[in-house]
Amino acid sequence: MQKGAGRVLVTLRCALACGCLVEAMCDGLTAYSADAELGRYLSTECMTCHGASKADSTIPNIFGLGETHFVGVIRAYRDKTLPNPVMQTIASRLKDEEIAALALYFQTAKKPK
Amino acid sequence: MTEITRRSFSLLAGASLGTLCTPLFAPSVLGQAKPRLVVIGGGPGGATVARYVAKESAGAVDVTLIEPLKNFTTCFFSNLYVGGFRDIKSLRHNYDKVRKGGINVVPVMASSVDRDKKLVWLAGGSRVPYDRLVIAPGIDLKWDSVPGYSEAAAQIMPHAWKPGAQTELLVKKLNALKDGDLIVMVTPPNPFRCPPGPYERASMFAHVLKKKGYKKSKIIIIDPKPAFSKQAVFMEGWEKHYPGMIEWQDPKMHGGIKGVDPKTGEVKTDLSTYKAKLANVIPAQMAGKIARDAGLADQSGFCPIDPESMKSKIDANIFVVGDAAIPGDMPKSAFSANSQAKVAAMIIRAELTKSRAFPARYSNTCWSLIAPDDDIKIGASYEPGEGKIKQSTGFVSQKGEAADIRKQNYKESVDWYNGIVADIFG
């Protein structure tokens, strides 16, 4: 990672699980130095579908999502233990550090108005 | 002659270009206050680049979007208007939020590009200087690719492959059909905008006819290709929802498209002549004129790009995104254009503001409605590889899928539409 990239240490905890499945996916503590700038760039891919999500959308709102929850869900899509081929395809190429960077970004990002 | 800058644009908003007669020269690149990005075309590719550069550079780049249309009608989802699932107004989007994002929206047609002087000339004689230029004009139609077809013929045999009046004309003709009337579609050769689009459109035609209780009407698709996107699931759906109504003919079946006659409504193939009450002729395609005139297209009629950046292979100061580009394995779609635009925006910012650059990555998904609550999809991820944008992984709907999956697909597609138009237009 480059100097000045807004690196933040993110500890991926599994306390806020979105279900047993996701909890199992991130069993054990893993630490990554999440790259905020990378997360912001990668998030542009998510914006195509998630930028206008509402409460009843099939495409969920991911802004403000807790990092642990986010990491668990994306890993579950990557491992194909959660259904939906669109998300499985998106997640399939994400490395752990990229998922951590995205989680860091979306944890504080505000949905566009 | 007038040179449009951020300062002069506020004048332009309230005055015709002809009233601006004093040349206003922007400072040269060296020592100028802000680097200048100019974008030609306010569709899914162009508007997305403009918005992302403006937002991410936080005012450090002077962004101008040249788009003559006051309201942009999306081609994507226009088949749902054909099928009666949406109103045409729901496909129209204005540039109010684009402007609020700090972008100079110039509501004039760009007429040419002077690559040596790095200027865009506008209709009316004004000019806009740039440091980086994005060209996203979409497609033009090769009228003569179907003998007998022309721009005038399109008023009788609509293509409806550019959104707006053509789509409304197609729907008007569809709604006027009587039971027993024949629809003939002539579909385009590869590459073309929205690969599953013609076959979704045939589905929507059939849905409208079925809803009216028509039993005798048929839809014949004359295809120059031996296969098409999502073919297996489309054909399964046609047999399920519209048995015997849609007949797809590949070149082996029709022997070649000989031509159309708008006066008689005839569509002629090597083996048959069909008298269509509604002929939907979608000709071959090429990059929009301004890109071709600027010398950015190759012999294919489309513009080669560097897969790492979406930068033109012909001019390093110009990026081509969307349907006008040669996108390697990516289909020409709004999703693709939006995805490519984000890579271009990231590289443009890096070049103009020294911001950080990241490896390019792309994605696409296309949803197609066959019948109410029966929606199929295809999608993939892409990365630079082998000198092109190369598919790295992907999926496609399968035959025999459960009804709830297809219903969920449709809901997902509607939510996607809301998401992508918000991403493009704000």
Tell me the per-residue pLDDT of A76-89, one tens digit each, with 9 for 90 and over. Answer: 999 999 999 999 99
Q: A60's torsion region: left (phi>0), alpha (psi -120 to 50) or beta?
A: beta
Q: What is the mean pLDDT of residues B79-95?
A: 98
What is residue A113's predicted lDDT score, i.e. its pLDDT? 82
pLDDT at B36 over 60: yes
Mean model confidence pLDDT for chain B: 94
Q: What is the mean pLDDT of residues B99-121?
A: 98
Q: Which of A38, A43, A89, A92 best probes binding to B when mutated, by most B CB atoms within 10 angstroms? A: A89
pLDDT band at A10 (very low <50, low <70, confident <90, very high): very low
pLDDT at A24 over 90: no
Q: What is the mean pLDDT of residues B298-327?
A: 98
CATH code 3.50.50.60 region(s) in chain B: 6-138+288-357, 142-284
pLDDT at B295 over 90: yes
Q: Which residue among A50, A52, A89 sits closest to B379, beta carbon to beta carbon? A: A89
More confident residue, B163 or B239: B239
CA distance A30 to A12: 6
Distance from CA of A109 to the nearest CA of B (A): 14
* Chain A residues contacting B via beta carbons under 8 Å: 2, 5, 37-38, 40-42, 44-45, 47-53, 57-59, 85-86, 88-90, 92-93, 112
pLDDT at A38 over 90: yes
Percentage of the residues of chain B whose pLDDT score is greater than 70: 92
Helix axis angle, A96-108 to A67-78, nearest 10° = 140
**Contact call for residues B12 and B22 (beta carbons, < 8 A):** no
Residues of A with CB below 8 A from B365's CB?
Answer: 86, 89
Q: Do B379 and A85 touch (CB under 8 A)?
A: yes
- Which pLDDT tens digit goes with each residue over B113-160? 999 999 999 999 999 999 999 999 999 999 999 999 999 999 999 999
Q: Do A93 and B393 touch (CB under 8 A)?
A: yes
Q: Do B411 and A89 touch (CB under 8 A)?
A: no
Q: Do A90 and B363 touch (CB under 8 A)?
A: yes
CB-CB neighbours of B324 under 10 Å:
33
Fold of B142-284: FAD/NAD(P)-binding domain (3.50.50)
Q: Do B392 and A50 touch (CB under 8 A)?
A: no
Distance from CA of B349 to the nearest CA of A (A): 12
> ipTM of this model?
0.89
Give the predicted TM-score (pTM) of the model: 0.90
What is residue A22's predicted lDDT score, i.e. its pLDDT? 44
Q: How many alpha carbons fall within 13 Å on the CB side of residue B144?
A: 0
CB-CB neighbours of B123 under 10 Å:
12
What is residue B3's predicted lDDT score, i.e. its pLDDT? 65
Domains and CATH numbers, chain A: 7-108 (1.10.760.10)
CA distance B167 to A79: 42
pLDDT at A15 over 50: no
Residue A59 CA, chain-centre distance (Å), reads 14
Nearest chain B residue to A47, by CA: B423
What is residue B10's predicted lDDT score, i.e. its pLDDT? 44
Residues of A with CB below 8 A from B346's CB?
Answer: 41, 44
CA angle, corner B422, sides to B417 and B424, nearest 5?
95
Q: Do B415 and A5 touch (CB under 8 A)?
A: no
Nearest chain A residue to B349, by CA: A41
pLDDT at B33 over 90: no
What is residue B32's predicted lDDT score, i.e. its pLDDT? 63
Q: Which residue among B345, B383, B408 sits closest to A58, beta carbon to beta carbon? A: B408
Q: How far is CA B336 from CA A5, A47, B118, B144, B363, in A?
A: 28, 13, 27, 28, 7
Q: What is the mean pLDDT of residues B232-259?
A: 98
Fold of B6-138+288-357: FAD/NAD(P)-binding domain (3.50.50)
**A and B: number of Cβ contacts within 8 A:** 80
Residues of A with CB below 8 A from B377's CB?
Answer: 85-86
Distance from CA of B118 to the nearest CA of A (A): 28
What is residue B417's predicted lDDT score, i.e. its pLDDT? 98
pLDDT at B97 over 90: yes
Strands B374-385 and B388-396: antiparallel
What is residue A30's predicted lDDT score, i.e. its pLDDT? 40
Q: What is the mean pLDDT of residues B233-256?
A: 98
pLDDT at A33 over 80: no
Nearest to B294 by CA among B270, B319, B266, B322: B319
